[in-house]
Amino acid sequence: MSLIIRNLQRAIPIRRVPLRKNIEELRSILGVQKFDLGVICVSNMYIQQLNRTYRQKNIPTDVLSFPFHENLKGGELPQPCIQDDYNLGDIFLGVEYIYQQCRQNHDDYNSILTGEDVSSKHHLVDGRRWTRPQLDRHPPGRLTRPGDSCPW
């Protein structure tokens, strides 16, 4: 299904081609290519407003995810009944915040930006942040069986 990447900020450049490629790779690893996903790159002011509205925290942050399907158990994928429900949700990347953190930590912004997306993608699946090595240990389509504890 569709992957929509929107850049609603102008302060920090976004390399869309590698970002899209890495997100598509992750969707394939997770076995969720059939699901729609929105990735929206926003400024500090925009993500702070979202953070204040939905988490009651009046500060900017790196990533906020808004799952389409609620009340899923850890590792469980949605089981949509109709085509319109094949949607994982939306990920908001605070690219200005991510860029500032990269400068402070002497990290590569473009690599970290994709890494932020990877962790938030897992948030949409099961509410936890996952690392790439943890991801690689799990078969596509299921991170853990419902009811299992996290193996690490």
The reported pLDDT for the residue numbered 110 is 80
Ramachandran angles phi, psi of 46, nearest 5°: -70, -45
| CA-closest candidate to residue 11, choices 132, 95, 121, 98 | 95
* Integer Cα distance of 30 and 25 in angstroms: 9
Q: 88-133, pLDDT tens digit by residue? A: 999 999 999 999 998 998 888 887 776 544 555 555 455 544 455 5
Q: 45-91, pLDDT tens digit by residue? A: 999 999 999 999 999 999 998 989 888 777 788 889 899 999 999 99
Q: Are 129 and 122 in contact (CB under 8 A)?
A: yes
The structural domains of the chain, ordered by start, are 3-113 (3.40.390.30)
Paired tokens of 22: 């890495």
What is the residue whose two structure tokens read 């009944």?
A: 81
Q: Residue 28 burial (CB < 10 Å; 0-12/13-18/19+)?
A: exposed
* Integer Cα distance of 66 and 146 in angstroms: 21
Confidence tier at 148 by pLDDT (50, 70, 90): very low
DSSP state of 79: -
Map residue 123 onto helix, strand or coil.
helix
Confidence tier at 145 by pLDDT (50, 70, 90): very low
